[in-house]
Every structure is written in C-alpha cells, then in structure tokens.
Amino acid sequence: MNVEDSRQMMGLLKLLGCNQVDDVYQADIVILNTCSIRAKAEHKIYSELGRLKRLKEDKDLIICVAGCVAEQEEKSIIKRFPFVDIVMGPDQVGFLPELVTSCLKDRDTPPKKTYRKTGFQLKDDYQFLHVMPEQKEVSVKAFVNIQKGCDNFCAYCIVPHVRGREASRPSTQIIDEIKSLTQLGVREVTLLGQNVNSYGLKENNDITFAQLLERIASQTELKRLRFATSHPRDVSDALIEQFASNPILAPHFHLPLQSGSDRILKLMNRGYTRKHYLTIVEKLKKQNSHLCFSTDLIVGFPSETNQEFEDTLSVMKDVNFVQTYSFIYSPRPHTSAARMPDDVLLKEKQMRLKRLQDLDSEITLKQNHSDVGTVRYVLVEAVQQENQKPFMGRTEHNKIVHFTSKNVYHPGDFARVTISQANPHSLFGE
C-alpha cells in the first residue's frame, strides 16, 4: 500500500514539474513515506532523519515526512526534528502539491514554518486519487486502490488509528482505471485495501467485492487479477465461488491467519476461530483444487504460551502455505494490546519466529519441488538475454520462474513453462 502511495506522490509532484532522481544527494525534495506497523519500521525513520539533517546543513532541501508515522507522531516529529518542512498523513496525499508549493513560496521568509496536513477526511467526502503512470513507467503489473482505512481494530494493529475509517472506492472509478492501465500494457492488477472482503458493504449504493471481481473480468481486458488483503471473517460464499468461475482470478489467496490458537485470536479481536479459518480453506479448495494460500502470522502476542504457538505451527502444516509473512509482536501506541503486559520474553519470541520460519522454508521448498514436472502459466516480467535462463516471470501462484525458450518473449507475454527445477525461492524451467 505504501508503494502505491509513493507512486501517487511521485505522480503528483511530476505535475509540478519535478523529476525523480536515484541519488538523495541530487534531490531538492526528499519524502520519507513511513510505516508504523511495527516499532522497528518507525525507528528506521528517526535514524534516516538524522542523516537528512546533516544533508540539509549542506544544501537547500525540502524534507517531508509522510505516511503513518507522520500521522502518529506529528507533534513529536515537529519538536524533535524542527528542520522537517512538511508532515503529511496517509489520508492527505492529495494535498502534497499544495504543501510543497506553499513551502517553496515561503522558504525565503523567516521564521521557518512546518507545513502539516494530518487527520482524516470525512468518509463520505473521501476522494480516491487517480494518478495514472506515464507510459514509460508502466510495467506489466500495477496496484489499484479499492478501499482506504480500516474499521476492524485488531488488538495489536495501528492501522485504524493512522489510516482512519474504512471507505470503498466507487466501482466505476476502479473499472475505468483498470481499462486505462490495460491500454498502457498492464496485464496483471492487484486490488488493494486493508480488508477487501468488506468492499462496498459499508456503502449503500455500491456492489460487493465478489461482484467487483466479476465486473473486472467481464468489462476489462485485464489478463490476471489478484487482491490483498483479506480478513477471514468476511470471506463470503460468493467470493469463494469466484475462485471457480472467474477466468482471470489467480488461484492464490493471501489470507492472514495471525495465530492458530482460539484464545489468542480472541484476544487479538480477530472475530474468527481456527476451525472457521480451516473451513474456509476447505471450501476454497473444493471450488478450485489448484488454489494455494499465503498468510501473515504474529508470534509472541501477550500471554501466548508455547502450546498456543505450537497451534499456529499445526495450522501451517494443515494448510501448507506457499508463503508466510511472520512477525514478532510489537506493542503499538493507541492499540488495546498495548495495555496488555508484553510478557513473552524477546528471546522466546525470537526462538518462536525462527522455528516458524524454518517450518515455512521446509513447506515452501516441498511445495516448490512438487511443481517440478508441471506446466505453469507464466506472465513474463523481464528479459535478460545475457542470462542462461533469459526470461523471468511469475506463475499463477506468484512464484518467480526463470526459463529458457526457443521462442522470443517480451514482458507482458504469457508463456507455458514446464518446471524442471526448484529452489526455496524460485523455480526454473523451459
């Protein structure tokens, strides 16, 4: 989501005549688009700001802190880092050109001001940005925002506090954007939202998520469709059915589990049980036996016992996730879990993470080996003639494949690739 926000910020600045440079030393404006999902991500920003302070002593520079840390720590950023020129929350990206213009206009008239735009826009007034990439920036894949904010308030999560209330983008805007992207050469789109399954449910006048998937398939020229992220509680039967009937929907479902223990799921305020999660997986597999799953997991949530951690490992074995994103629990301000004692020792959390990641590697490697001998439908993303296997792309399951061919492929083409070899992170074939 931050990657897409950054792309939109870049697009907005281009309209002001700015160009992107690769080296921070050449820049006149530096934007840190920040993430505060875990404490580590937040702390990275503070050390980066220290470096930028020294740079600003040598050259005239506009420094903008954007994103979730800006929203969360507005006052303290202004106090601790007075050289920062702009502080802008994630709900206010559309104001970036205005903030930069004011800053440029006033920079020679002291005293120095910090321009700030944080807080949330009213749900009903929320305007989704529509910043199209230029032809030369287009790759074969793109992200499309369909929703902003989150209303779920999972006990550990800062997102609802820094991205505000959930709102869904009108379906006509989404479909128009996908049509324009396909005209520029985009083949695959990932729809983005914190909980895409509840798309449209809170607005009275729009369609459900399953209907949106259906319309994208029938009304656009898109070749492959993905989405992130889903909440297990809101997976409807209509969505499950899409995995059988929708011709462009990739058979890969990223379905965050967070924990395999019912007691921890309850404490996390996730609103489903382990059994419910496994039932959804079963129903989905029945609709489409090629479907694979990836997930997010947290270890060391307050009061998590070793047995409860083992419960998470056992779901991993049951589902055979092709990929897991796993994190050590990190207490975040404003969240309800931050009021619970963070009582699992860091050493224990680290050990659990290592065990989980070792199991993940084992399962992933096994899954990759089971692809050997099968034929995969690969979207070509890059061609490097000098390589032994010059073509690189991704399978329906989003696995990276390097392959050879007598044919010539270009980025954006699809190829049927017979998989001949597998390693933990990629596949090889011809």
H-assigned helices in 73-230 = 74-80, 96-106, 159-163, 171-183, 209-219
209 binds ligand SAH (CB under 6 A): no
CA 74/CA 161 separation, integer angstroms:
13
The size of the interface with ligand SAH (CB under 6 A), counted in residues, is 17
* Residues between 247 and 266 that touch ligand SAH (CB under 6 A): 256, 258
Residues in the chain, overall count: 430
145 binds ligand SF4 (CB under 6 A): no
Which of ligand SF4, ligand SAH, none is residue 160 near (CB under 5 to 8 Å by kind)? ligand SF4
Element (H, E) at 414: strand 414-422
The size of the interface with ligand SF4 (CB under 6 A), counted in residues, is 10
**Which of 194, 246, 261, 294 forms a contact with ligand SAH (CB under 6 A)?**
194
Shortest CB 280 distance to ligand SAH, Å:
14
**Which of 241, 296, 318, 413 forms a contact with ligand SAH (CB under 6 A)?**
296
How open is the CA angle 111-113-116, to the nearest 5 degrees?
170
CA 229/CA 216 separation, integer angstroms:
18
**Which of 36, 114, 194, 198 forms a contact with ligand SF4 (CB under 6 A)?**
194
- Look at residue 130 and give its three-state secondary structure: coil
Which of ligand SF4, ligand SAH, none is residue 87 near (CB under 5 to 8 Å by kind)? none
- How deeply is 409 buried, as exposed, middle or buried, from its count of CB atoms within 10 A (0-12, 13-18, 19+)? middle
Residue with tokens 């009213």: 122
- Local structure of residue 258 (DSSP, 8 states): B
Q: List 293's β-bridge partners, or say none.
A: 253
150 binds ligand SF4 (CB under 6 A): yes
CA 241/CA 238 separation, integer angstroms:
5
- Local structure of residue 205 (DSSP, 8 states): S
169 binds ligand SF4 (CB under 6 A): no
Interface mask toward ligand SAH for 316-335; x: CB under 6 A: -----------x-xx-x---
* Residue 46 CA, distance from chain mean position: 23
* Residues between 223 and 262 that touch ligand SF4 (CB under 6 A): 231
153 binds ligand SF4 (CB under 6 A): yes
- Local structure of residue 249 (DSSP, 8 states): B
CA 47, 194, 154, 96 torsion-angle sign: positive
Which of ligand SAH, ligand SF4, none is residue 233 near (CB under 5 to 8 Å by kind)? none
**Which of 121, 195, 288, 312 forms a contact with ligand SF4 (CB under 6 A)?**
195
Which of ligand SF4, ligand SAH, none is residue 168 near (CB under 5 to 8 Å by kind)? none
**Which of 163, 187, 224, 231 forms a contact with ligand SAH (CB under 6 A)?**
231
- Look at residue 33 and give its three-state secondary structure: strand
159 binds ligand SF4 (CB under 6 A): yes
Candidates 49-57, 94-102, 151-159, 398-406: pick the segment binding ligand SF4 (CB under 6 A): 151-159
Pair type for strands 252-254 and 292-299: parallel
* Residues at the contact surface with ligand SF4, assessed by CB under 6 A: 150, 152-154, 157, 159-160, 194-195, 231
* Residues at the contact surface with ligand SAH, assessed by CB under 6 A: 37-38, 156-157, 159, 194-195, 229, 231, 256, 258, 296, 298, 327, 329-330, 332
